[in-house]
Amino acid sequence: MKLKTIEDFFLHGHQFNLPGVSVDNVIFGFHENQLKVLLLQSLDKNIWMLPGGFVGKKEHIDEAASRILKDRTGLDIIFLKQFYTFGSPLRSNNKILVKALESLNQKYDKDHWIMQRFITVGYYSLVEYANVNPQPDEFSSVCEWYDLDPLPELLLDHKEIIYKALDEMRLNLNYQPIGYNLLPKEFTMKNLQSIYETILGRKLDRGNFNRKILSYDILDKKEKHYSGGAHKAPYLYSFNKKKYFKALENGLGRDF
């Protein structure tokens, strides 16, 4: 089979005219044993949305995700995981963007790329709430942490994206260690357990959690004990950086 005319190919039963590519970040924050998610409020104050943006011409999608994360949170180089790509044609013209453009007397005709529909590559990360100073972007008035339950009215399929990210993050607890960027250099086993419990949304048995985590062999036990709290002083642990990142790469045991 040979190529006849280029139109033959492009219009072969389909309207080929490329959708654009954007990135949406689901940034979970860990605060007082609660999961929050970072959201932006549109300029007209009606709708919330995930921090996201277009992918630069010569930019790796992973870099675009990092850049957006940094712009919204000030955070650098942290664990960002691509979890799914959303490609429904209903993810069409970003009405918020179009509105914003119109309000500034910026108009683009239907063929301009900005008016096309977008494919969105989703990334998630889990960051320490206190380290973040949320910054709104050009299309939003507010950027802040929001409780996962209940979520406000969200743009397009952003609610679906958040739930999918949560599912994937939970699944991934069985394969990859977590907590390195969420805990101080030295921490107690209870601190770490709280993170797992918060993500999973359920309590875990203390003894069994201990056994499991220690079997991963990514922690160093300190001689020092924590003091300051009431009652018996727990041991302090730190992540063994080398083993942690090796496990992040190669995976761990399974199942919580």
Binding site for a second copy (CB under 8 A): 1-3, 6, 8-9, 12, 14-21, 54-62, 64, 67, 82, 84-85, 87-89, 100-101, 104, 106, 113, 116-117, 119, 121, 135-139, 254-255
33 lies in the site for DNA, by CB under 7 A: no
Residue 194 Cβ vs DNA, minimum distance, rounded to whole Å: 10
**Measuring CA to CA, which residue among 135, 134, 142, 145 is closest to residue 29?**
145
Stretch that binds DNA, among 37-45, 64-72, 103-111, 185-193 (CB under 7 A): 185-193
Which pair of tokens denotes residue 9?
Answer: 């190919």
224 lies in the site for DNA, by CB under 7 A: no
Residue 63's SS3 state is helix
Backbone angles phi, psi at 38, to 5 degrees: -85, 125
Q: How far apart are CA 207 and CA 228, in angstroms?
A: 23
Residue 230 Cβ vs DNA, minimum distance, rounded to whole Å: 4
Using alpha carbons only, how large is the chain's radius of gyration in Å? 22
In terms of phi and psi (left: phi > 0; alpha: psi -120 to 50; beta: otherwise), the region of 252 is: beta
With tokens 């090796």, the residue in question is 246
208 lies in the site for DNA, by CB under 7 A: yes
State the binding partner of 88 from a second copy, DNA, none, CB within 5 to 8 A by kind.
Answer: a second copy
Interface with DNA (CB under 7 A): 188-190, 205-208, 210-212, 215, 225, 227-235, 253-256
